[in-house]
Amino acid sequence: MSMKCSLSPPPPPPPAPPPPPALGPALPPSSAQKKKLYQTIASSRSPVEGDHTEALLLLRHRDSSFRKDLQWILMNTYVPSLIQDGPQCGLVALWMAAQLCQPQPSIDMDAVVQTALSRGYTAQGEMFSANNMALLAEEVCSCKAELLSGGLGGKNAATIITHLWGRQPVLIPYDEDYNHEPCQRSGHRAHWAVASGVLLGLDQGSLSTECTEPDDTLPWLYLPGDVGSPCPSGLREVHILAKQGKSLRYQLWSLDSVAQSNEQLRKMDPQRASDGTQYVVPQGGVEAGLAGQAVLLHTRTQTQ
């Protein structure tokens, strides 16, 4: 007797696994490389601490750059360094400046970022509004923040100099060149720095020997002997000492170059504006939000 066997067709193959979730847009190669570069450089270095220590190193290195027919005096208040992670230059500059507040607020960088996000001042860490920066500073630092507008020259320059002489920081937006110095790129490289000191070039005879003391290594340079001494007059040249979030080191810039860079902040980098990432930009754009503006922190005046 013969038997017939019916064979069933093989079961269908299991469905393919779902595709992995889509990742956000990758950073352009140049941005990713640059970010890695400045963070790598910073990771192999340590900040130079002290009000005048690093500034004096800078001046010795650039000795020939300063007119010897002038008297020079240096005033600085050390701020700690912090390297930014992503487009957080303004928030990092604010955190550095906050360390000069009296009493010093116990706030970490994450809290600064979260506060800015919750208030709608930023989406990615960017700060394209000096007014929002002032509001944020008052909230996180618990000190008075003064918005300066109308450019960084003239009377505003005098205000900035007096403020820095009084050992209080200034937050300044500017266009950042590849060496972190001020440049003029129409706002395409908008960046924030915190200024904490000044180097003043004065007419001969402008300095009182009772309120100053000569530096041991630079015969043309003086340091203030009395913390409460008034800001000298007879200014011929002004440089500021500043830090920003892509380096641990202080940099020395002429106030004129910073003012010119600050004044021409007009537009966001077109590549950045069209990369599909959301940013918080005020009405009127980068020019309305940053150009001709700075934020003075009155570190010894608490908000009510």
Look at strands 212-214 and 251-254 and give their pairing. unpaired
- Tokens 């100099």 belong to 161
SS3 115: helix
Q: Is 101 considered catalytic here?
A: no
For residue 180, what is the DSSP state? S
Q: Are 75 and 166 in contact (CB under 8 A)?
A: no
Tell me how far apart the alpha carbons of residues 121 and 85 are, in angstroms, rounded to a whole number. Answer: 18
- Tokens 């890695």 belong to 36
- b/e for 111-142, b at 16 or more Cβ within 10 A? ebbebbeeeebbeebbbbbbbbbbbbbbbbbb
Token couple for 227:
């913390």
Count Cβ atoms within 10 A of the Cβ of residue 283 and give its class: 0-12 exposed, 13-18 middle, 19 or more buried: exposed
All residues at 6 or more sequence positions from 257 whose CB lies less than 8 Å from its CB, including other chains? 181, 182
Report how far apart the first and last C-alpha atoms of the chain are (Å, whole number): 104
SS3 45: coil
Tell me how far apart the alpha carbons of residues 253 and 264 are, in angstroms, rounded to a whole number. Answer: 17
What residue type is assigned to position 207 of the chain?
L
Among candidate residues 5, 89, 141, 143, the one labeled active-site is: 89
What are the catalytic residues? 89
